[in-house]
């Protein structure tokens, strides 16, 4: 069951619809995928239905942006009870905060002479979810920068840039607790690439394990062989599940293809078995 457990759709900062992701997964020879949009579960019903039609298993998930002190960490929530009304209400707050942040950054860009409107960026995004990649694409289309990467600078919307605004600060421990409350498995995404420190080492990951972290995204499209081996050792030593995915965003992540990371069957089976055992315990 070749798996890619980290995909994004148009409902966050990806460029493909959930149905397109499933079709691409079929073409790439994947049996199992996870839609893990940022702070939203809006695309999951469409993705799961498309998966049933194409014979692709879709694991319901999302990627939460969290803060542990000043360090920004992304936590993947697999098998989350995404239809639970109480859970949806909590996610709605995160979604609204993202919209406020996008509007604020566009306003700051206007002050810097970048004449984008919220409506123009919304058109690029295709949904109400607007992230920095959508703003960057709109800047390219408007002729304000040559490439999307040029927008992610200190002059514009790069971390700490003149038009940058920080995200709503959901605590990492709080997020892990919420994931468990609604039946999910909490996995730290791309531990080598975090904001606020160079990378996550064993001590830092061990602290998250004390919060209840279940797993580690060992395999990621930006992890080198050496980095992968480093995190595989940490996962084993701390008794954490091993996960992996491409972090595919379509056109918004040039150079990254779905299936660049194919999580081995044994790891997928371990995640599924862990979920089943957790569910039975409840």
The domain ranges of the chain are 3-91+170-281
Specify the pLDDT at position 260: 95
For residues 270 and 189, what is the distance between their CA atoms, to the nearest angstrom? 18
Which of 13, 18, 168, 14 minimizes the C-alpha distance to 90? 168
Q: Dihedral through CA 106, CA 111, CA 112, CA 118, nearest 10?
A: 20
pLDDT value, residue 63 = 97
Please identify every stretch of the chain with a pLDDT value under 50, giving residue numbers as ranges.
none
Residue 215 contacts residue 241 (beta carbons within 8 Å): yes
Beta-bridge partner residues of 263:
3
Q: Which CATH superfamily is domain 3-91+170-281 in?
A: Metal-dependent hydrolases (3.20.20.140)
* pLDDT, tens only, 212-244: 999 999 999 999 999 999 999 999 999 999 999
Cα(4)–Cα(214) distance, rounded to whole angstroms?
A: 18
Q: Are 99 and 128 in contact (CB under 8 A)?
A: yes
Nearest alpha carbon to residue 24 among 246, 269, 279: 246
Question: What pLDDT is recorded for position 94?
Answer: 86
């Amino acid at each position: 069951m070749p798996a890619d457990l980290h995909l994004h759709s148009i409902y966050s900062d990806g460029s493909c619809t959930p149905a397109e992701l499933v079709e691409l997964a079929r073409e790439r020879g994947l049996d199992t995928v996870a839609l893990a949009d940022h702070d939203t579960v809006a695309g999951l019903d469409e993705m799961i239905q498309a998966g049933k039609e194409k014979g692709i298993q879709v694991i319901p998930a999302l990627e939460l942006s969290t803060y542990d002190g000043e360090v920004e960490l992304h936590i993947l929530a697999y098998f989350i009870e995404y239809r639970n009304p109480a859970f949806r209400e909590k996610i709605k707050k995160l979604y609204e905060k993202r919209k406020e942040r996008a509007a604020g950054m566009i306003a700051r860009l206007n002050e810097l002479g970048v004449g984008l409107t919220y409506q123009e960026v919304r058109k690029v995004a295709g949904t109400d979810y607007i992230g920095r990649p959508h703003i960057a694409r709109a800047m390219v289309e408007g002729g304000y920068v040559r490439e999307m990467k040029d927008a992610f600078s200190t002059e514009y919307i790069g971390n700490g840039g003149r038009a940058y605004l920080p995200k709503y600060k959901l605590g990492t421990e709080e997020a892990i607790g919420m994931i468990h409350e609604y039946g999910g498995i909490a996995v730290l995404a791309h531990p080598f690439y975090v904001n606020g420190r160079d990378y996550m080492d064993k001590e830092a990951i061990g602290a998250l394990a004390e919060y209840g972290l279940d797993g580690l995204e060992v395999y990621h499209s930006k992890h080198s062989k050496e980095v992968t081996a480093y995190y595989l050792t940490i996962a084993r030593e701390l008794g954490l599940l091993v996960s992996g995915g491409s972090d595919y965003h379509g056109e918004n992540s040039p150079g990254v293809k779905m299936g660049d990371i194919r999580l081995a069957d044994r790891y997928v089976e371990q995640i599924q078995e862990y979920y089943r055992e957790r569910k039975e315990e409840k």
